[in-house]
C-alpha cells in the first residue's frame, strides 16, 4: 500500500516538477510569478487531445503541433501582457495582474470551446504493467518518469552548461549588465517563456494520458501546487524546483490515501504555508528571500 | 488619437469640477441613495442595488490591501464565506440577532486574517497572492467536506432574516437601508484610516518599504493590521449576505469570486474610494445589462484586466487626488482674480 502510493506519488510529482521548473525559470529572470503557467499546462493537454482526435491517432504529430502552439502561446503571454509593462517600468503588481488576466482568458476560452465537463483522454503510453511484490507499476508510470527525468537533465545542462543558459542566468542576475554585455535581453526573456510553456505542455499531455481524463480546472489547481513546489524547493533554483515537485507529489498522494481524498488539493497549500513559516528560502534556495 | 485626447480632457475637466464641488457631489449621491428605494419599487432593481452595495463594501475592504498597501489578496472570497457561514450557523442554531452575528463574523474572520497574515506578510514580494489563493481553495474544500457543520455541497438553507433587538425585517427596502448603512460606515472607516498616520504609513510601505522602515514605520505590524481590518470588512459583508440571501453553499465563495472583487477594485481605481464605488457598481450592473454575454463574462474580465494594465495600470479613478485637484483649482482662481 505504502510503496504503491510512493510510486504513484513520484510519478505525479515528476510531472509537477516539469511545471515547477517553468515557474522557477520565469521567476529567476523577471522576479515575476507567471500565473498563466498553469493555464498553459491545461492548454497543452487540450491541444494534444484535439490534435490526437483530428489526426486519427497520430500521437507524434499531435504532440509536436501541441508543443509548437503552446510554445507560441507562452511567447504571447510575454509579448502581449508583459513587454509593454517592462518598457513603461510599471509596478510589479501590474505584471502579476496581467498574467492573471491572460490565465483567465485561456481558462475561459477553453471552457467556452469545450464545455466544463471532464473529457476522456487516450492513453498513448499504455504498454501494460508488472508487479514487484504487491506493488503494481505500469509502463505508463515508467515512461512518464523517464521522460520527466530526461527533460530535467537536459534543461539543467542547457541552463548550467551552454552559452544560451549562461545568458539566461546573466539576465537573471542583472538585466542592465547583461544588456551591456551584448546579450539580447528580449530574446532571452521570450525564450524563457517559450521553454516554460513547452515544459507545461509536455507535463499536461503526460498527466492527461496517465489519468486518462482532462478537465478545465486542472490548470488552476496544478498551477498553485507547482508554485508551492517551486517555493518549497527554493525559488529560482532548478534542482530545487524538481525536488519540490517530487515532494509535493509524494506527500499529496500519501496524504490523500491516509487522511482523506477530499482534502487532496489542500495538502499542497498547507505545505506552502508551512514552508513560508519555517524556511521561506526553500530547501535548496540560495537566493535569500528578503524579510521585512 | 485626437478622440482619446478629447475624451481624457473631458474626463479631467469633470474630475476638476467634481473636486471643486466635492461636498455637493457627496451630498447629492447620498440623497439619491436614500431616496432611491422610494422612487423605484421594482424588486429586480432593488435586488441589484443591494448586491451592488454589498460589492462596494467588499471592494472598499479589498482596496485597503490592494490599493493602499499594494498587495493582491485572493482570500477575500474565503473571508466573505467564513463570515457568511459564521453568521448563518449562529443565527440559525443559536438564534442570535443580526448585530451579534455581524460582530461574531468580524471577530472570527479577523482571527483567520491574523493567522494567515502573520507568516506571509513578514516576507517581501508576492507570497500573499499565492498563499491567499491556496487559502481560498482550502476554505472551499473545508466547506465542501466538513459535513456535520457546513452541510457540505447542500449548503445551509433557512437562515433567519435580519432582526435587531427582536424586531425582524423582511422588506427589500429594509435590506437596502441595512447595506447602505454598512457601506457608509465602511466608507467613513476607510477614509478615516487612510487619512491617519496609519494610512500614510501604509502608502509609504507600498511605494518604498525600505524608506518606510528607515522612517520608523513598523512595517510588519501595519501590514498585518491593514490585512486584518480588510478581512473583517469582508467578514461583515459575508454575514450580511447570509442573512439577506438566507441560503449559502460553497459555490458562492470560490476563487472566481475573489477575482471578481479584484477586477472591481482594479477597474475602478487602486487606492481610491470613489473608484471602489464606480468599479463595484459598474461591474454589478453591466453584466445584468449584457445578459446574452453571461457565458463570456469571466473571459471579458480577463481581457479587461490585461487591457487595464496596459493602458491605465491604476484603474479609472486611481491616482486621482481630489484634494490636490481642489487646491490647484483654487490657486488658479486666486491668480485669475489678481
Mean pLDDT by 10 residues, chain B (338 residues): 61 74 83 84 86 93 89 90 92 85 93 90 79 87 85 83 78 87 93 90 86 87 93 94 89 87 88 89 84 80 86 76 74 78
Note whether A93 contacts B133, CB cutoff 8 Å. Answer: no
Q: What is the pLDDT of residue A44?
A: 92
B235 within a domain of the structure (yes/no): yes
Lowest mean pLDDT among A89-98, A168-177, B198-207, B316-325: B316-325
The reported pLDDT for the residue numbered B1 is 42
Structural domain range at position B274: 41-337
Whether the per-residue pLDDT at A101 is higher than 80: the answer is yes
User: Distance between CA atoms of B285 and B51, rounded to whole angstroms?
Assistant: 10
In this complex, is the C-beta atom of A114 within 8 Å of any C-beta atom belonging to chain B? no
How sure is the predictor about A290, in pLDDT bands with cuts at 50, 70 and 90?
low
The pLDDT of residue A72 is 94
Report angle CA B216, B220, B225 to the nearest 5 degrees.
110
Tell which phi-psi region holds residue A288, choosing left (phi > 0), alpha (psi between -120 and 50) or beta: beta
Q: How far is B175 from chain A (nearest CA, A)?
A: 34
B49 domain-assigned: yes
Residue of higher predicted confidence among B307 and A273: B307
| Inter-chain residue contact A292 with B209, CB threshold 8 Å | yes
- Answer whether residue B320 is part of any domain: yes
Q: Which helix (H) or strand (E) holds A212?
A: none
Structural domain includes residue B20:
no
pLDDT at B7: 67
C-alpha cell at B307: 487591457
Number of H helices and number of E strands within chain B?
15, 4
Quick one: pLDDT at residue B238? 93
Task: Give the mean model confidence (pLDDT) for residues A156-163.
Answer: 88
- Asked whether the CA dihedral A164, A170, A175, A180 is positive or negative, the reply is negative
Picking from B105, B104, B99, the residue whose alpha carbon sits closest to that of residue B164 is: B99
Provide the pLDDT for residue B298: 83
Per-residue pLDDT, B59: 94
A-B contacts (CB, under 8 Å) = 135
CA dist B215 and B49 (Å) reads 44
pLDDT of residue B158: 81
Q: Which residues of A touch B124 (CB under 8 A)?
A: 289-292
CA distance B252 to B80: 10
Disruptive mutation site among B302, B314, B319 for chain A (greatest number of A CBs within 10 Å): B302
Q: Is residue A288 pLDDT above 70, yes or no? A: no
What is the band of A193 on the pLDDT scale with cuts at 50, 70, 90? very high
**Nearest 10 degrees: CA dihedral of A222, A226, A232, A234?**
-170
Instruction: Give the nearest chain B residue to A273 (CA atoms).
Output: B131
Average pLDDT over residues A196-215: 90
> For the CA atoms of chain B, what is the radius of gyration?
21
Please say if the pLDDT value at position A291 is more than 60.
Answer: no
Does A286 or A137 have the greater pLDDT score?
A137
Q: Give the Cα separation of A237 and A22 in Å (integer).
A: 11
Residue B257, min C-alpha distance to chain A (Å): 13
The C-alpha atoms of residue A284 and residue A229 are separated, in whole angstroms, by 12
Distance from CA of B217 to the nearest CA of A (A): 11
Q: Cα(B53)–Cα(B182) distance, rounded to whole angstroms?
A: 9
- The strand ranges marked E within chain A are 119-120, 129-132, 135-138, 213-214
Provide the CB-side half-sphere exposure for A216 (13 A, CA).
15
Following DSSP, what letter does each residue of A61-120 receive, concatenated? HHHHHHHHHHHHHHHHIIIIIIHHHHHHT--HHHHHHHHHHHHHHHHHHHHHHH-SS-EE
CA B32 to chain centre: 21
Q: What is the pLDDT of residue B154?
A: 85
Which chain B residue has the Cα nearest residue A33? B126
Closest CA to B186 of B39, B56, B275: B56
Whole-angstrom distance, CA of residue A177 vs CA of residue A182? 9
pLDDT at residue B294 in the model: 76
> For A41-55, how does the pLDDT look when each residue is reduced to its tens digit (9 = 90+)?
999 999 999 898 888
Say if pTM beats, i.e. exceeds, 0.80: yes
Q: How far is the CA of B128 from the CAs of A38, A231, B32, B41, in angstroms?
A: 18, 13, 38, 43
User: For residue A288, which phi and psi values (nearest 5 degrees)?
Assistant: -80, 130
Q: Mean pLDDT across the stretch A159-181?
A: 87
Tell which A residues from 213 to 272 touch B, by Cβ distance under 8 Å. Answer: 220-221, 224, 227-228, 231, 260, 262-263, 265-266, 268-270, 272
d(CA B61, CA B73): 11
CA distance B114 to B235: 13
pLDDT of residue B4: 57
Would the pLDDT of A32 be above 80?
yes
Instruction: Please count the structural domains in chain B.
Output: 1
| Euclidean distance between CA atoms A201 and A186, whole angstroms | 23
- Chain B nearest-CA distance from A189, in A, is 19
Q: What local confidence, expressed as pLDDT, does residue A292 receive?
A: 44
Q: Is the pLDDT of residue A73 over 90?
A: yes
Give the nearest partner residue to A104 out of B127, B141, B305, using CB atoms. Answer: B305
Is B32 within a domain? no
How far does Cα A16 stand from its chain's mean position? Answer: 6
Output the furthest CA–CA distance in chain B (Å, rounded). Answer: 75
Tell whether B11 is covered by a domain. no
Cell numbers 530545487: residue: A240
Average pLDDT of the residues in A16-28: 89
DSSP B258-293: HHHHHHHHHHH-TT-HHHHHHHHHHHHHHHHHTGGG
Q: Which of residues 144-163 of A touch B (CB under 8 A)?
A: none
**What are the respective helix, strand and coil percentages of chain A, to the nearest 5?**
75, 5, 20
As a whole number of angstroms, the distance between CA A208 and CA A231 comes to 25
* Residue B55 to residue B41: CA distance in whole angstroms: 21
Q: Do B306 and A220 touch (CB under 8 A)?
A: no
Confidence of residue A136 (pLDDT cuts 50, 70, 90): confident
Residue B268: inside a domain: yes
CA quadruple B209, B211, B216, B221: dihedral, nearest 10: 0
The Cα B231–Cα B180 span in angstroms is 19
Q: Which of B126, B138, B308 has the CB atom closest to A266's CB atom?
A: B138
Classify residue A128 as left (phi > 0), alpha (psi -120 to 50) or beta. Answer: left
Please report whether residue B25 resides in a domain.
no
Amino acid at each position: 500500500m505504502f510503496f504503491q502510493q510512493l510510486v504513484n506519488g513520484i510519478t505525479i510529482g515528476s510531472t509537477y516538477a516539469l511545471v515547477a521548473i517553468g515557474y522557477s525559470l520565469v521567476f529567476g529572470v523577471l522576479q515575476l510569478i507567471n500565473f498563466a503557467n498553469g493555464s498553459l499546462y491545461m492548454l497543452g493537454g487540450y491541444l494534444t487531445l484535439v490534435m490526437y482526435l483530428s489526426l486519427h491517432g497520430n500521437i507524434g504529430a499531435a504532440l509536436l503541433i501541441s508543443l509548437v502552439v503552446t510554445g507560441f502561446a507562452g511567447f504571447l503571454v510575454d509579448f502581449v501582457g508583459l513587454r509593454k509593462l517592462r518598457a513603461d517600468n510599471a509596478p510589479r503588481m501590474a505584471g502579476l495582474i496581467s498574467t492573471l488576466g491572460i490565465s483567465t482568458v485561456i481558462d475561459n476560452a477553453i471552457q467556452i470551446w469545450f464545455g466544463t465537463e471532464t473529457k476522456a483522454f487516450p492513453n498513448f503510453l499504455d504498454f501494460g504493467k508488472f508487479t514487484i511484490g504487491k506493488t503494481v507499476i505500469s509502463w505508463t508510470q515508467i515512461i512518464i518518469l523517464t521522460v520527466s527525468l530526461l527533460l530535467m537533465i537536459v534543461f539543467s545542462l542547457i541552463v548550467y552548461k551552454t552559452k544560451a543558459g549562461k545568458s539566461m542566468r546573466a539576465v537573471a542576475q542583472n538585466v542592465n549588465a547583461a544588456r551591456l554585455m551584448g546579450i539580447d535581453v528580449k530574446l532571452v526573456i521570450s525564450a524563457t517563456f517559450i521553454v516554460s510553456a513547452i515544459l507545461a505542455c509536455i507535463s499536461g499531455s503526460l498527466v492527461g494520458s496517465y489519468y486518462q481524463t482532462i478537465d478545465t480546472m486542472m490548470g488552476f489547481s496544478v498551477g498553485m501546487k507547482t508554485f508551492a513546489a517551486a517555493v518549497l524547493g527554493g525559488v529560482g533554483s532548478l534542482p530545487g524546483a524538481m525536488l519540490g515537485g517530487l515532494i509535493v507529489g509524494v506527500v499529496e498522494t500519501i496524504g490523500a490515501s491516509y487522511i482523506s481524498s477530499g482534502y487532496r488539493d489542500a495538502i499542497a497549500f498547507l505545505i506552502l504555508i508551512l514552508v513560508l513559516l519555517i524556511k521561506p528560502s526553500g530547501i535548496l534556495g540560495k537566493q535569500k528571500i528578503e524579510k521585512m | 488619437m485626437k478622440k482619446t485626447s478629447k475624451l481624457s480632457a473631458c474626463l479631467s475637466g469633470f474630475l476638476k469640477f467634481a473636486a471643486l464641488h466635492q461636498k455637493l457631489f457627496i451630498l447629492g449621491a447620498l440623497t439619491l441613495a436614500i431616496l432611491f428605494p422610494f422612487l423605484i419599487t421594482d424588486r429586480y432593481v432593488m435586488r441589484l442595488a443591494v448586491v451592488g452595495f454589498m460589492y462596494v463594501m467588499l471592494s472598499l475592504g479589498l482596496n485597503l490591501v490592494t490599493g493602499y498597501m499594494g498587495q493582491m489578496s485572493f482570500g477575500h472570497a474565503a473571508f466573505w464565506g467564513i463570515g457568511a457561514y459564521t453568521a448563518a450557523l449562529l443565527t440559525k442554531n443559536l438564534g442570535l440577532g443580526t448585530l451579534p452575528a455581524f460582530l461574531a463574523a468580524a471577530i472570527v474572520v479577523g482571527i483567520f486574517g491574523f493567522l494567515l497574515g502573520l507568516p506571509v506578510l513578514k516576507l517581501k514580494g508576492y507570497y500573499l497572492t499565492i498563499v491567499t489563493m491556496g487559502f481560498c481553495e482550502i476554505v472551499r474544500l473545508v466547506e465542501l467536506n466538513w459535513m456535520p457543520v457546513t452541510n457540505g455541497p447542500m449548503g445551509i438553507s433557512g437562515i433567519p432574516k435580519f432582526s435587531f433587538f427582536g424586531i425582524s425585517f423582511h422588506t427589500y427596502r429594509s435590506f437596502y437601508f441595512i447595506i447602505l448603512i454598512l457601506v457608509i460606515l465602511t466608507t467613513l472607516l476607510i477614509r478615516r484610516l487612510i487619512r491617519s498616520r496609519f494610512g500614510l504609513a501604509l502608502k509609504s510601505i507600498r511605494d518604498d518599504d525600505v524608506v518606510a522602515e528607515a522612517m520608523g514605520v513598523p512595517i510588519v505590524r501595519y501590514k498585518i493590521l491593514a490585512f486584518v481590518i480588510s478581512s473583517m470588512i469582508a467578514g461583515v459583508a459575508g454575514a450580511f449576505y447570509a442573512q439577506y440571501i438566507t441560503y449559502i453553499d460553497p459555490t458562492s465563495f470560490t476563487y472566481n469570486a475573489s477575482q471578481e472583487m479584484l477586477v472591481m477594485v482594479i477597474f475602478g481605481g487602486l487606492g481610491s474610494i470613489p473608484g471602489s464605488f464606480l468599479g463595484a457598481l459598474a461591474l454589478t450592473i453591466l453584466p445584468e445589462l449584457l445578459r446574452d454575454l453571461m457565458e463570456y463574462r469571466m473571459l471579458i474580465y480577463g481581457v479587461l484586466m490585461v487591457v487595464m494594465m496596459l493602458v491605465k495600470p491604476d484603474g479609472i479613478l486611481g491616482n486621482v487626488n481630489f484634494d490636490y485637484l481642489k487646491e490647484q483649482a483654487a490657486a488658479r482662481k486666486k491668480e485669475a482674480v489678481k
